[in-house]
Copies of this chain bind each other. A is one copy, B any other.
Amino acid sequence: MSELGKERIMKRIPVVIFGAGGVGAALLRQIVDGRNRVAARNQYRFEVAAVTDSRSCLFAAEGLDDAALLAAVERKRQGLAVAEGKRPSEIEIIDRARQAGWEKGIVVDVTAVDGMEPVLDHALAAGYGVALANKKALAGPWQTAQKYFNHSRVRHESTVGGGQPVIATLRYLLDVNDPVYEIEGQMSGTLGFICGQMDGGIPFSHAVREAKELGYTEPDPREDLSGKDVMRKALILARMAGWPLEEADIEVESLYSPELADLSVPEFMDAAAGLDETMRLRVATAQTEGMVLRYVAEVADGRGVVGLKPVPAGSALSSLKYISFRTGRYDDEPLLIGGKGAGVEMTAAGVLGDMIDLAREEL
């Protein structure tokens, strides 16, 4: 078959990408770098019709070419907006893609903003698929979030496990009718790092500072230390498994005390030393019993707990970032997905996998 012949059976799939931060930029690079692989394995070509950041939008009805996508990545790296000028609303951007003749396509949310629900609803109503790395819509009140769970055109692998095939595994267990009794895991690489440092006697505040300097934390480390992001992951898994929990049903232990909430980031980094002694005692107490502290999320029927927990030192579960499912069939040892890799690249890969999955199954 000629090259021309091959081109003709390639399925072109328009993609509208909201968000051009770390994950968004990695996704654009992966779309460009993976074109040949995706074409060879699946006969798809993702046409990126739009890329936005909070300020601006790069748009090309027929799909931005690779040079334009890589230029956008470079602009973001330099701290610039993705394009000149102000952008239309997300809904207007989706409508522009539709008006260009794309009847089916994929809307990607790799922002971290609240309030994307109307945008997602608009995309779904238009027959588009949705791929989410942004957890907010799935972790909102059940009444609004419910419609995204088990919707055939919603994918969200990267919301939990950062690219590990956790959502796909849970979907498989539900498909084959294996009852899920309990979901457990260490769902934060950042908190796993901090706990691991404390094992070795490093004070809590030093471990937090080190994690921040290595770029493992959010710019404000309290966003990690609050446990709220882990709570959202636990909530998403619980809801998928069939338990319609709300935020309030999950007990969350914050790793900083409430009086530190209103400090500036530099003030907090200094004040965190005040937490060291309490934490040192907890670590030491655990160690006298052969345990180490890990930040663990546990979800079972009707409730969830997220916080520090003693785990046997040297055990599989003390040394892995993992999520496990105890089910009717996985009775001896729970089904476990573990491993640790390259942050935003893996998260972006999860989104790309979702896009391929949507193209295979739904578009």
**Shortest CB–CB separation between residue A11 and chain B, in angstroms?**
13
Contact B316 A176 (CB under 8 A): no
* Known pairs A329-B342, A346-B329; A316 contacts B324 (CB<8 A): no
Contact A164 B335 (CB under 8 A): yes
* Known pairs A324-B339, A337-B336, A339-B330; A352 contacts B163 (CB<8 A): no
Q: Does A30 contact B (CB under 8 A)?
A: yes
Q: Does A333 contact B (CB under 8 A)?
A: yes
Residues of B within 8 A of A325 (CB): 339
Stretch from A34-42, A55-63, A68-76, A296-304 contacting the other chain: A34-42
> CB-defined interface of A25-38 with B at 8 Å, one 1/0 digit per residue?
00000100110011
**Shortest CB–CB separation between residue A171 and chain B, in angstroms?**
9
**Shortest CB–CB separation between residue A312 and chain B, in angstroms?**
9
**Shortest CB–CB separation between residue A12 and chain B, in angstroms?**
18
Contact A34 B335 (CB under 8 A): no
Stretch from A96-104, A207-215, A353-361 contacting the other chain: A353-361
What is the predominant secondary structure among interface residues of chain A facing chain B? mixed
Residues of B within 8 A of A360 (CB): 360-361
Residues of B within 8 A of A176 (CB): 30, 34, 349-350, 352-353, 356
Residues of B within 8 A of A329 (CB): 163, 341-342, 345-346, 349
Q: Does A259 contact B (CB under 8 A)?
A: no
Bound Cα distance from A164 to B165, whole angstroms = 12
Residues of B within 8 A of A334 (CB): 339
Residues 305-351 (chain A) with a chain B CB within 8 angstroms: 314-317, 319-322, 324-325, 327, 329-342, 345-346, 349-350
Residues of B within 8 A of A34 (CB): 176-177
Q: Does A277 contact B (CB under 8 A)?
A: no
Complex: chain B residue closest to A337, CB-CB? B337
Q: Does A254 contact B (CB under 8 A)?
A: no
A residues within 8 Å of B by Cβ?
A: 30, 33-34, 37-38, 41-42, 150, 163-165, 168-169, 172, 174-178, 314-317, 319-322, 324-325, 327, 329-342, 345-346, 349-350, 352-353, 356, 360-361
What 8 new A-B contacts, CB under 8 Å, besides A316-B319, A336-B336, A360-B361? A34-B176, A165-B165, A176-B352, A176-B356, A325-B339, A329-B341, A330-B341, A337-B337
A–B Cβ pairs within 8 angstroms, 16 of them: A37-B175, A42-B175, A176-B350, A176-B352, A176-B353, A314-B314, A315-B316, A316-B317, A327-B341, A330-B340, A330-B341, A330-B346, A332-B339, A333-B339, A334-B339, A360-B360
